[in-house]
Amino acid sequence: MDKIKAFYEFVKKNPEALEEIKLFLENLFKELSSDILLFHILELSKNKSLPQATKRLLLEYAADLCEKSLRLHEALTILNVLLKNFPKEEYLEKLEKLKVFKSLERYKSLSSKYNISFEILKDLYLSSLEQDKSLETLITQKYKIPKNEILKSLEEYYRVPSYDLKALLSQRKIRRIPKVLSIKKQFFIENLCVPFEFNKSTILFCYNPDDTEKIELVKRILQLPDVKLAVSFKEDILEGIEKYYDVYFEDAELNFEQMEEEEPQEEAELLDSAIVNLVNFIIEEAYKRRASDIHWESLTGKRGLLVRFRVDGECFEYTTLPENQKKGCISRIKVMANLDIAEKRLPQDGKIKFRTKDGKSFEIRVATLPTIENNEDVVMRILGGIEFRALEELDLLPENYNKLKNILELPYGLILCVGPTGSGKTTTLHACLKHLNKPNRKIWTAEDPVEIVQEGLRQVQVNPKIGLTFARVLRSFLRADPDIIMIGETRDHETAQTLIEASLTGHLVLSTLHTNSAPETITRLLGMGIDPFNFADSLLGVIAQRLAKRLCSKCKRPYAPEKNEIERIKREYGENPLIPLGDETLAKATLYEPVGCEFCNYTGFKGRIAIHEILVPDDEIKELIIHNAPAQEIRKVAFIKGFQTLKQDGILKVLKGETTLKQVLTVTLR
């Protein structure tokens, strides 16, 4: 410590004697440990009485000495302090260069065994940059060092297992993880890592396991439990990434070219693991991404098979499979759905009961269609993926929630939920049934298909092919002591007439209809020839709804709307005497716009929000129904009584920051 004290005193008394300071420092480096010396150099650099030039020289020379003596950790620490206090481009360049050189320590166990000095490693590294080759490749080529020896050196340095990933890939000892394909390939290339399943464990093969910031980022995005780290060569990791994204099933043994020529194919041939795995993998991916539909589209001109998913109401391209896999995939789907694999000229319909690797079961509706150039398309509808929600989780605004809850408490009558296909009608009806589902009630449902299974309900799957229609099931329900009846869809006069009769004889009846709005539903049923007196007497309410994209809660960005946007919102909202949209509310409004992040797959939207209009007819509206009034007249009277349209409901949800005006206008007509 006497020498340190003497050095302190000398620097303070002679801050301009730069050469002497350098000599003093050089002697100290030979005698003292790195930690002690680093501490005192950093303390001296904080001394306010020292000139800046002296501080800078002290730090610069100390960094140089540390680098020359291979004390790279200390050199990096000093350079960081230099860069903070004296920002210069050369310090930044030197810092980045030293970080790379420090990584060369991972090969230090090779130095004694193969006589490779640190200086040689530095030269090899610079050569690797010039030749666009990895350092491991140059070491292997120039010094004939076996790959396993280099891996052993990496294992000793990082203290994690090392693997010859290339060998594991070629020997087919590792498996891809399906969810990884939902992450862009570039992410893994930039972070130089790739995850695989190996020996019943999830292994993240990394080029630099010490880069904790990158490793934690990868783990967080992958959301894989119990990930273990391993080190491997850079080229092997890049090859592993390519296996994930460019070669879906490298373990394929099926000769696809031969498969194209042999038609029809035998079922046994289709059970080859390559096609089975490929189709299963894509179905699992669609399910995990919350897709409602999978579209398998045969491209013309032998350009392959385009696979698209519909998620949150919109289709997007998932992948394009090569031409030599097209017929194998379509035939495999036909086998799964018990369809005729030889029939290509006519459309076919079927169903698949599918179980994922983690044990989740669901049903898939399959439709095949002949397309041009002797091709076929397949559309799969994934059933059972609908969320089971409570009444409070339907995105209803307070006024609509109270309306719906009140009519559900009535002992008998007809409640209709209307909207296009995929607008959430089934979810809404089952939420209503959950609210009504009590041990003292008997509830029957007829559905096609049964998408939500609810304990306490007696559910019937309609099958028109054998004559088990909605109307026939409904008539049977009336003899089965029901309290509440739910009919999945009102498609014809017979079903509609029976529904009304059931609701007038002491039963609460719920059903759906494909109409655009609540007032139009009334005129549609009257147009079917329904008795207007009975209909007016039975109708409790009509719920019309749509689904709009919901803004991602993690990345949506607030902004103050401009005057023209406020004017448009006001114009689109229109008049509503009971629920007006005032200038004061709009002036204070904060809107949100989509941004995009990892959570929402960089779309800016996650999930969908329901938009509603609920018409509860009073005596005046029932009088209009009896007199077959047009929808516009019913709407006009309903407005006076506080009826809120789909668009108005959506705009209020825009002002709450749940969606955007563009999304609302996309799904609403008026």
Residues 184 and 94 in one domain: no
Distances (CA, A) of 498 to 132, 197, 446, 505, 530: 77, 57, 13, 11, 10
Does the pLDDT at position 249 exceed 50?
no
Would you state the pLDDT for residue 230?
Answer: 94
Would you state the pLDDT for residue 269?
Answer: 40
In a domain, 220, yes or no: yes
Would you say 490 and 499 are in contact if contact means Cβ atoms under 8 Å apart? yes
Residue where the block lists tokens 């190996």: 198
Residues 315 and 447 in one domain: no
Would you state the pLDDT for residue 260?
Answer: 39
Would you state the pLDDT for residue 13?
Answer: 78
Would you state the pLDDT for residue 266?
Answer: 40
> Helix, strand or coil for residue 40?
helix
> Once rounded to an integer, what is the mean pLDDT over residues 631-645?
90
Q: Give me the residues paired with residue 201 across strands.
A: 198
Would you say 62 and 77 are in contact if contact means Cβ atoms under 8 Å apart? no
Rg of the chain on CA atoms, in Å: 35
Would you state the pLDDT for residue 435?
Answer: 95
Does the pLDDT at position 176 exceed 80?
no
**Residue 505 or residue 123, greater confidence:** 505
Measure the CA–CA gap between 327 and 654, rounded to whole angstroms: 46
pLDDT, tens digit, 9 for 90 and up, residues 386-418: 667 899 999 999 999 999 999 999 999 999 999
pLDDT, tens digit, 9 for 90 and up, residues 54-107: 778 778 877 777 766 666 667 778 778 877 778 777 777 777 766 666 667 777
> Helix, strand or coil for residue 57?
helix
**Residue 635 or residue 49, greater confidence:** 635
In a domain, 131, yes or no: no
Q: Of 361, 383, 405, which residue constitutes the final position of a domain?
A: 383
> Once rounded to an integer, what is the mean pLDDT over residues 268-277?
54
pLDDT level of residue 526 (50, 70, 90 thresholds): very high
What's the total number of domains in the chain? Answer: 4
Does the pLDDT at position 200 exceed 50?
yes
pTM: 0.58
CA-nearest of 46, 63, 64 to 55 is: 46
Would you state the pLDDT for residue 241?
Answer: 87
What percent of the chain has a predicted confidence (pLDDT) above 90? 41
> Once rounded to an integer, what is the mean pLDDT over residues 287-297?
91
pLDDT, tens digit, 9 for 90 and up, residues 476-525: 999 999 999 999 999 889 999 999 999 999 999 999 999 999 999 999 99
> Once rounded to an integer, what is the mean pLDDT over residues 210-238?
83
Q: How far is Cα of residue 621 from the mean position of the Cα atoms in its chain?
A: 45
Residues 114 and 209 in one domain: no
Residues 10 and 95 in one domain: yes
Would you state the pLDDT for residue 122?
Answer: 73
> Once rounded to an integer, what is the mean pLDDT over residues 203-216?
87
pLDDT level of residue 302 (50, 70, 90 thresholds): confident
φ and ψ at 616, to 5 degrees?
A: -110, 105
> Once rounded to an integer, what is the mean pLDDT over residues 278-282?
87
Residue 498 is inside which H or E element, if any? Answer: helix 493-504
> Once rounded to an integer, what is the mean pLDDT over residues 648-657?
94
Residue where the block lists tokens 């035998």: 266
In a domain, 151, yes or no: no
Would you state the pLDDT for residue 385?
Answer: 57
322-337 exposure pattern, b = at least 16 Cβ within 10 A, e = fewer:
ebbbbbbbbbbbbbbb
Measure the CA–CA gap between 213 and 225, rounded to whole angstroms: 18
Residues 336 and 442 in one domain: no
| Residue 322: cis peptide before it, omega within 30 degrees of 0 | no
HSE-CB of 428 using CA atoms within 13 angstroms: 32
Q: Which residues contact 168 (CB under 8 A, 6 or more apart)?
A: 174, 196, 198
Residues 431 and 321 in one domain: no
Q: What is the dihedral of CA 137, 166, 230, 67, to 10 degrees?
A: 10
Residue 236 is inside which H or E element, if any? Answer: helix 234-246
> Once rounded to an integer, what is the mean pLDDT over residues 429-456?
92
Name the token pair of 436. 């009504």
Mean model confidence pLDDT for the chain: 84
pLDDT level of residue 199 (50, 70, 90 thresholds): confident
Residues 468 and 357 in one domain: no
Measure the CA–CA gap between 111 and 363, rounded to whole angstroms: 61
What percent of the chain has a predicted confidence (pLDDT) above 70? 88
Q: Of 68, 96, 119, which residue constitutes the final position of a domain?
A: 119
What is the DSSP code string of 104-137? GGGGTHHHHHH---HHHHHHHHHHHHHHT--HHH
Residues 498 and 540 in one domain: yes
Residues 362 and 413 in one domain: no
In a domain, 140, yes or no: no
Residues 377 and 396 in one domain: no
In a domain, 252, yes or no: no
Domain that holds residue 496: 391-668
pLDDT level of residue 181 (50, 70, 90 thresholds): low
> Once rounded to an integer, what is the mean pLDDT over residues 117-140?
74
Burial of 527 (0-12, 13-18, 19+ CB in 10 A): exposed
